[in-house]
Amino acid sequence: MTLNPTQQNIHKGRLLVIDADHQVRLDVESILLPQGYEVVGSDSWPEARQLLQSENFDLILSDLQAGQGQGEATAKTLLALGGSSEVLVGVSPVQIQEGRAALYHGATAYLLQPYDRDELETLVDRSLYRHAEAESHLRLNREKSELQRSQDVLLSCLPLLQVDDLDRLGDLVLDTMMELCAAETGILWLTGAGELSLHSMRGLSAVGAIAPETSAVANLSDDQHALSVPLVVGARMIGLVRLESAVGREIFNAEDLQRADTAGTFAAVALSAVLRRQEVEHNLLRAPGSQAYNMIFFRDHLEKELYAAKRYDRKLSLLKVVIVNYAELTARFHDRQVNDAGEMMVTTIMTVLRDPDLICSLLPGQFYILLPETDSWGALMAQRRIRKALRGQLLISDMKKNLPIRMQMRSATAPFEATTLPELDQLIESRLTTLRSSLLIRCQLEEAGFWKVVDNLLAPTGPQLLRKAAKGSAAFLSLADGEFTALGLVVCQELLAAVPVRGVILWGSADLTVPRSLLSPFLATPEMRTALYLLGATGPTAGVDPPGGVTISVGDESLRDHAFLLCLGEDYAYALLARRSGDGWHAFHSNDGYFVENMFVKVQEQYQFQAQI
């Protein structure tokens, strides 16, 4: 029986009455229906069980039939099926003990049959009041728990708004979302040039680097083994996060999706702010009148690159360019002329730099160049390209006077040589100090040709000043016939047998048979990273390349009575120059790094070949 429309307006609760006696059910309905209760009756336990499994009731009034006449079994059965429903048990006078057993096992109360109107109304009212309070309490607890969970999610996401470094922020976004959703793997793609490109990955699972198809809203994969969260601010797509491999369970659920969506909103706002700031910095943080960035932006960018280098085992090099006669230039020319020359120099340098490389103005006449993903050998090659590009342009002139711009540069590599900007700068300054004592600079031989330098060093009547300047990092020696080859082989074999580093060896002599045959076994090993170039006069075997080496034939008679060995690597430099003197050799050797670098360039220019080093 159900309420009529008038009675439904004062509905106070929904009751299930279980009793085999039809008259008893009618009596209960006649008492409770006028009070505004909805009453549903059942005359058998199978029917009652079906009703309890398919519908919700606030209160159950049952005789002991449900428990085979036992109050304990009745209470357990009704509570198991009724969930949070209140349970009243009707008993006959001889079933008082069973009614008490029902109370002990969770029933609200027991009533004597036949039911007394006043007692029934009172117990139903009290029971439903308690039920309403319990439901309200449970609802408040659920709401409180949901609020607490929401606050926990928000508090976990707030640190995202405090990070202004893109690499760190990307890692933090993944760490936060993986923790909130208990995921083993996280992948972040960022939008660039209209496409999603992989930015960072976290976790242990092997996942692809290609961004999946995405929609504008967070969603679960078809098999619920992955979560995809688009990062959107307004109508702008910032990126995409994908979480995979739920921890301790088979699949993700709706609650995980909700948490990921909330965290994705914070992540999108934070990433958008950082990306916009980077865009502004790239447009505004350049030195006035120059393409060089100022130190504020450069220092910040360098810190990010150093962090990435240490975290992801990358290399980066810092190159310092110094105009050593800047004070003299400013004293003899107007500031505008000096500044124009500096801007011209920066513009020319930028033509040989890569897109990721940055140049900044450190002090008047001093510049930093950041070379990401570049080791010490790559920094050496960058210096070589810069010198070549600036050749013939380092000059300030007006109608009355000319003055060359004397430029020097050295580099340091992170994180192996140093890990902070002050440490890198200190190392570079020590190398610049060593550079200034180089033989080429002290004797002003930087612009001299290869054989001019060799003749100045080895000629019997060579300048005494040159010989005096060569002392310290170099030495003169006399070698018997055959000792040049023996000494050269010892040096090369020692370098090639060491821990593999990138380098190049250039051997020049009239006869290449011995170095070719004895050095080939070293060069043929797979881990070898040093290249060998053999430079000799034209002959029957001059054009035969050894394994791992290159033979270069030149028709130069100078190699008939001269020989040289140049070795340059990431952490070594050596030069051995020799000239025939009677039955032996008059030789010069040095470990002056700047001297060796320049002699490499000079010999390449002498014979117009470009070694692939």
* Residue 6's pLDDT band (cuts 50, 70, 90): very low
Residues in contact with 491: Cβ distance below 8 Å, sequence separation at least 6, in sequence order: 565, 567, 574, 576
- In this prediction, residue 167 carries a pLDDT of 80
- In this prediction, residue 465 carries a pLDDT of 47
Instruction: Tell me which CATH homologous superfamily contains domain 450-607.
Output: Endonuclease Chain A (3.30.870.10)
- In this prediction, residue 320 carries a pLDDT of 94
- Strand runs (DSSP E) across 499-548, as ranges? 503-508, 530-537
pLDDT of residue 318 exceeding 90: yes
- In this prediction, residue 369 carries a pLDDT of 93
Q: What is the CATH number of domain 163-282?
A: 3.30.450.40
Q: What is the mean pLDDT of residues 319-339?
A: 85
Helix, strand or coil, per DSSP, at residue 164: coil
- In this prediction, residue 269 carries a pLDDT of 92
Q: How far apart are CA 49 and CA 52, in angstroms?
A: 5
Q: What is the mean pLDDT of residues 58-82?
A: 77
- In this prediction, residue 5 carries a pLDDT of 43
Q: What is the mean pLDDT of residues 361-369?
A: 88
Q: How far apart are CA 292 and CA 370, in angstroms?
A: 11
- Please report, for the chain, the start and end positions of each structural domain, with discontinuous segments joined by +: 5-134, 163-282, 296-436, 450-607
Residue with tokens 């109360």: 109
Residue with tokens 């801007």: 343
Read off the pLDDT of residues 25-41 as tens digits, 9 standing for 90 and up. Answer: 888 888 888 888 888 98
* Residue 355's pLDDT band (cuts 50, 70, 90): confident
Which range in 85-94, 140-149, 178-187, 532-541 is most confidently predicted, on average pLDDT?
178-187
Given a contact cutoff of 8 angstroms between Cβ atoms, the answer to whether 578 and 564 are in contact is yes
Q: What is the mean pLDDT of residues 231-240?
A: 87
- In this prediction, residue 367 carries a pLDDT of 92
Q: What is the mean pLDDT of residues 495-507?
A: 75
Q: How far apart are CA 206 and CA 200, in angstroms?
A: 13
Q: How far apart are CA 154 and CA 262, in angstroms?
A: 8
Q: What is the CATH number of domain 5-134?
A: 3.40.50.2300
Sign of the torsion angle spanned by Cα atoms 557, 563, 564, 565: positive
Within 13 A of 483's CA, how many CA atoms are on the CB side? Answer: 14
Read off the pLDDT of residues 162-186 as tens digits, 9 standing for 90 and up. Answer: 888 888 898 899 999 998 888 988 9
Tally of residues, the chain: 613
Q: How far apart are CA 479 and CA 565, in angstroms?
A: 14
pLDDT of residue 340 exceeding 60: yes
Q: What is the CATH number of domain 296-436?
A: 3.30.70.270
- Strand runs (DSSP E) across 373-518, as ranges? 395-397, 402-404, 407-414, 474-479, 503-508
| Residue 517: both structure tokens together | 């045959």
Residues in contact with 273: Cβ distance below 8 Å, sequence separation at least 6, in sequence order: 161, 164
* Residue 502's pLDDT band (cuts 50, 70, 90): confident
The DSSP secondary-structure symbol of 86 reads E
pLDDT of residue 509 exceeding 80: yes
* Residue 429's pLDDT band (cuts 50, 70, 90): very high
| Residue 218: both structure tokens together | 């967070």
pTM (2 d.p.): 0.50
Residues in contact with 269: Cβ distance below 8 Å, sequence separation at least 6, in sequence order: 160, 161, 233
